[in-house]
């Protein structure tokens, strides 16, 4: 987070110093700031691993869009056809995420994919209760959720 703050600050400095206030120049400033932080991150502990996050973020976005389409078509198919293929149920999912921000992102992304809806977190914050629409293959569902969680934590940590 501190790395992103510095990236934006460097971009604003670039815009101010080069004197042209356009969106493209701001984008150029962001790219140059990113490159500068990439060089700096070895020497500043607070910035450690900052430049690694962008490729991870891009790969996560692509993965998430793919999952979103797949799951949406599945739900849409069940809504559009007269017979119910769904087997809904509430499952307890043990989380690796611990801080507030991690749990928030994890539960939001789980809610965002159709077919899974996060209901509540247990009081000791170890388990997330999820309403799932397709419980035909619970093992597979848990594996998919674990993969989603692993990818989110790789960006956050």
Report if residue 66 touches other proteins, rule: CB under 8 A.
Answer: no
User: Which class for 1: exposed (0-12), middle (13-18), buried (19 or more C-beta within 10 A)?
Assistant: exposed
DSSP alpha helix (H) spans, the chain: 2-18, 23-40, 50-80, 100-112, 138-156
Report if residue 8 touches other proteins, rule: CB under 8 A.
Answer: no
Query: In the complex with other proteins, which residue's Cβ is closer, 18 or 99?
Result: 99
Tokens 């749990």, residue? 103
Build a one-symbol-per-residue string for 11-50: x at contacts with other proteins by CB under 8 A, - elsewhere: ------------x---------------------------
Question: C-alpha angle with apex 68: 101 to 72, nearest 5 degrees?
Answer: 130
Q: Which range binds other proteins by CB under 8 A, 7-15, 31-39, 81-89, 146-154?
A: 81-89
Rounded distance between C-alpha atoms, residue 34 and residue 36, angstroms: 5
Closest distance of CB 94 from other proteins, Å: 8
Query: In the complex with other proteins, which residue's Cβ is closer, 34 or 102?
Result: 102
Build a one-symbol-per-residue string for 95-134: x at contacts with other proteins by CB under 8 A, - elsewhere: ---xx-------xxxxxxxxx-xxxxxxxxxxx-x-x-x-
CB 78 within 8 A of CB 88: no
For residue 53, what are the contacts with CB-CB under 8 A and spacing of at least 6?
3, 155
- Interface residue with other proteins among 38, 75, 103, 153 (CB under 8 A) is 75
Residues that bind other proteins (CB under 8 A): 23, 68, 71-72, 75-76, 79-80, 84, 86-92, 94, 98-99, 107-115, 117-127, 129, 131, 133, 135
């Amino acid at each position: 987070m501190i790395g992103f703050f510095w990236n934006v600050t460097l971009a604003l400095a670039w815009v101010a110093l080069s004197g042209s206030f356009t969106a493209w120049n701001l984008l150029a400033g962001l790219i140059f700031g990113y490159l500068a932080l990439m060089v700096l991150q070895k020497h500043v502990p607070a910035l450690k691993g900052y430049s690694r996050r962008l490729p991870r973020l891009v790969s996560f976005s692509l993965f998430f869009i793919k999952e979103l389409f797949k799951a949406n078509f599945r739900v849409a198919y069940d809504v559009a056809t007269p017979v119910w293929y769904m087997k809904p149920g509430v499952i307890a999912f043990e989380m690796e995420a611990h801080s507030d921000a991690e749990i928030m992102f994890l539960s939001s992304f789980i809610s965002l994919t159709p077919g899974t809806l996060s209901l509540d977190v247990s009081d000791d914050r170890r388990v997330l209760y999820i309403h799932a629409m397709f419980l035909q293959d619970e093992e597979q569902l848990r594996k998919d959720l674990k993969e989603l969680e692993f990818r989110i934590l790789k960006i956050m940590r």
